[in-house]
Amino acid sequence: MVKVQLQDGTSREYNQGVTVQEIAQDISRGLAKKALAGKVDGKLVDLSHALQGDVQLEIITPESPEALNIYRHSTAHVLAEAVQRLFPGTRFGIGPAIAEGYYYDFDSSHTFTPEDLDKIQAEMEKIVKEDKPFVRREVSREEALQVFGDRGEVYKVELINELPEDAVISCYQQGDFLDLCTGPHVPATGKLKAIKLMSLAGAYWRGSEKNKMLQRVYGTAFFDKAELEQYLFRLEEAKRRDHRKLGAELELFAIMDEGPGFPFFFPKGMILRNELESFWRSEHRKAGYQEIKTPIILNRTLWEQSGHWQHYKENMYFTRIDDEDFAVKPMNCPGGMLVYRASLHSYRDLPLRMGELGLVHRHELSGALHGLMRVRCFTQDDAHIFMLPGQIKDEIIGVINLIDKFYSIFGFEYHVELSTKPEKAMGSDEIWEMATNALREALEAKGMPYKVNEGDGAFYGPKIDFHLKDCLGRTWQCGTIQLDFLMPEKFDLTYVGEDGQKHRPVMIHRVIFGSIERFIGILTEHFAGAFPVWLAPVQVKLLTVTDRAISYGKELRNRLEEAGIRVELDSRNEKIGYKIREAQVQKIPYMLVLGDKEADNKTVAVRKRGAGDLGAMGVTELISQVVKEIQDKAQ
């Protein structure tokens, strides 16, 4: 007999070898029907898993957090089987569940087309109807190599060869499709209800561009059709927030064929930018920063000294001036170093925080460009903090706090990553370890959860990265804090210590927005273009009902302008509904409807974005309300 402790705390006894499915059946028919998998002592298993000893057992149903991944992973196997049926000879890569679905990588002589996706999906639905069981089998390494080797599955063989010595090797089979897989899976293909193939893309085998590019099919799956529909609807909604679309509609910016990756900012986009910059300047003044500006083009010798010439060349643009090599700056730090070095510093001056809104240019791969999120020239809200070794932790924490303050004002959620020494790096392992530990300590002192991103640091130092999400949930690095012991060395930076001797300062590179361009992209998607009043390019729009209200409209426009409000007057000969619609589409926060009544009583009829018609209000009252919202940076 085995004793099985269930999730609700109760225990039951069964004969040895009882399966999870049988236990579910024993508990209730409803549960048995819903059951997808089991969790034995914290480990996910199939429903067919037989229990050999006393265990704790949880039955995985669609309500369980783990269920969707198992379900989607099983769907990926069905996708592979469908491809095997329709395109014999296809070799299989990997097919995991991912955040919003699953994918499977194929190596096929046939190039899949979007039309093929429909065919494959139809085949998948057939497989679902056939309700084939997923059968697990544990095999020896030799057998696994034999089986997959015979089938010509070179990718599977490569995976098997790299499994650790003591790994349990398991295979799953449904119908004629056999896959190397740890599982678990749903009991049979018939469990898969709402499946949809989404897209097609190339993907390098094992994520390395040195390897062959396979064909990846992305799909998703849900427990029922309604959830799938809802997901597809949400996707469509999200696309409406796309900053590239809104940027054009709201006349914020554009990227033209004449400058791929080099954005143009229109007057309304500049208002947004300038508001962000002036907010940035005032916050940084408060936080003890000074501001500098360094040139965009600097001599080759500087880039050799900084190491960029050796480590960053493929991302840089070059030019020649008077027969000498120059480079367009990809980073602001070398210029910042020269500014530090231009004067003598005492330990009393440290920490010295020098900010720079610096325009940098980087040659990004053409395929990587993406609206404002990934461009070839952008403005970093940079700063370099020069400090004593003993000030490191406090300064890092200070920057973390500043970043958090900024992101909170916009209502952004973010996650943090710690990036460690990359392959192409300057400096010794010891220095890197010291710097990485300093960053880690600061994060831990703040009690901040973080993910480690091995090998993703800058070539001169490790970094803490702050990631924000776009409308489709893709994350983009914005803020970053990089600790650097190497540049001060390379540039022979010094300060005079208490002892009268020269010492080496430590430095931090950091950005808050990251790139103003990217930040505007994120901001646009976050607010779906409906910017809070303080950022809105047009804060108040005056709408006249008839031409009789035009002179009152002009008078009001002057009053609002004097109060520092960005205001536009729409005095066209159009119906009020038409003007409202246009202002609404432009996502203008305040509309003031002006007719005979308002002109006679010297009031305004307020229509607020998101709230609708608020009725009449005195002009002074309206002005003070708008001004307060601007000052409070209300969302």
* Stretch touching RNA by CB under 7 A, among 88-96, 400-408, 532-540, 606-614: 606-614
* CB of 331 closer than 8 Å to CB of 311: no
Answer yes or no whether residue 462 interacts with RNA by CB under 7 A: no
The least CB distance from residue 97 to RNA, in Å, is: 14
In the list 72, 244, 273, 329, the residue contacting RNA (rule: CB under 7 A) is 244
In the list 10, 109, 366, 501, the residue contacting RNA (rule: CB under 7 A) is 366
In the numeric block, which tokens belong to residue 309? 């010439």
Of residues 257 and 498, the one with the C-beta less far from RNA: 257
Answer yes or no whether residue 365 interacts with RNA by CB under 7 A: yes
The least CB distance from residue 604 to RNA, in Å, is: 8
The least CB distance from residue 574 to RNA, in Å, is: 6
Q: How far is the C-alpha of 172 from the C-alpha of 178, rounded, in Å?
A: 6
Restricting to residues 54-93, name those near RNA by CB under 7 A: none
Answer yes or no whether residue 1 interacts with RNA by CB under 7 A: no
The least CB distance from residue 517 to RNA, in Å, is: 6
* CB of 78 closer than 8 Å to CB of 182: no
Answer yes or no whether residue 436 interacts with RNA by CB under 7 A: no
DSSP state at residue 346: B
* Stretch touching RNA by CB under 7 A, among 225-233, 345-353, 386-394, 470-478: 470-478
The least CB distance from residue 93 to RNA, in Å, is: 11
Answer yes or no whether residue 285 interacts with RNA by CB under 7 A: no
* CB of 353 closer than 8 Å to CB of 287: yes
Answer yes or no whether residue 554 interacts with RNA by CB under 7 A: no
The least CB distance from residue 631 to RNA, in Å, is: 26
Q: How far is the C-alpha of 298 from the C-alpha of 423, rounded, in Å?
A: 27
What is the arrangement of strands in the sheet containing 603-608, beginning at the earlier edge strand?
567-570, 540-544, 590-594, 603-608, 612-618
| Total chain residues near RNA (CB under 7 A) | 79
The least CB distance from residue 117 to RNA, in Å, is: 10
Q: How far is the C-alpha of 136 from the C-alpha of 187, rounded, in Å?
A: 10
* Stretch touching RNA by CB under 7 A, among 150-158, 172-180, 210-218, 341-349: 210-218
Q: How far is the C-alpha of 294 from the C-alpha of 329, rounded, in Å?
A: 10
In the list 376, 421, 541, 557, the residue contacting RNA (rule: CB under 7 A) is 376
**Looking at 428-505, which runs of residues are DSSP E strands?**
451-453, 463-469, 475-484, 495-496, 502-503
The least CB distance from residue 195 to RNA, in Å, is: 18
Longest dimension (CA), the chain: 93
Catalytic residue IDs: 333, 362, 380, 382, 384, 463, 509
Of residues 574 and 629, the one with the C-beta less far from RNA: 574
Restricting to residues 104-163, name those near RNA by CB under 7 A: 111, 113-114
Q: Could you give the string, one character per residue 387-426, with x where binding to RNA holds by CB under 7 A and - elsewhere?
A: -----------------------------------x----
The least CB distance from residue 540 to RNA, in Å, is: 14
Candidates 574, 575, 557; CA nearest to 566 is 557
Answer yes or no whether residue 164 interacts with RNA by CB under 7 A: no
Candidates 490, 308, 488; CA nearest to 384 is 488
Restricting to residues 488-547, name those near RNA by CB under 7 A: 511, 514-515, 517-518, 545-547
Answer yes or no whether residue 575 interacts with RNA by CB under 7 A: yes
Candidates 479, 467, 519; CA nearest to 275 is 519
* CB of 525 closer than 8 Å to CB of 241: yes
In the list 207, 390, 447, 500, the residue contacting RNA (rule: CB under 7 A) is 207
DSSP string, 545-582: SSGGGHHHHHHHHHHHHHTT--EEEE-SSS-HHHHHHH
Answer yes or no whether residue 261 interacts with RNA by CB under 7 A: yes
Of residues 21 and 571, the one with the C-beta less far from RNA: 571
Q: Could you give the string, one character per residue 186-205, with x where binding to RNA holds by CB under 7 A and - elsewhere?
A: -------------xxxxxx-
Restricting to residues 314-333, name those near RNA by CB under 7 A: none
* CB of 483 closer than 8 Å to CB of 439: yes
Answer yes or no whether residue 277 interacts with RNA by CB under 7 A: no
DSSP state at residue 423: S
Q: How far is the C-alpha of 274 from the C-alpha of 526, rounded, in Å?
A: 19
Contacts of 21-29 with CB under 8 Å at 24 or more apart are 21/47, 21/48, 21/187, 23/51, 23/57, 23/59, 24/59, 27/59
* Stretch touching RNA by CB under 7 A, among 11-19, 207-215, 346-354, 488-496: 207-215
Cβ neighbour number for residue 404 with a 10 Å cutoff: 17
In the list 79, 128, 443, 458, the residue contacting RNA (rule: CB under 7 A) is 458
Answer yes or no whether residue 374 interacts with RNA by CB under 7 A: yes
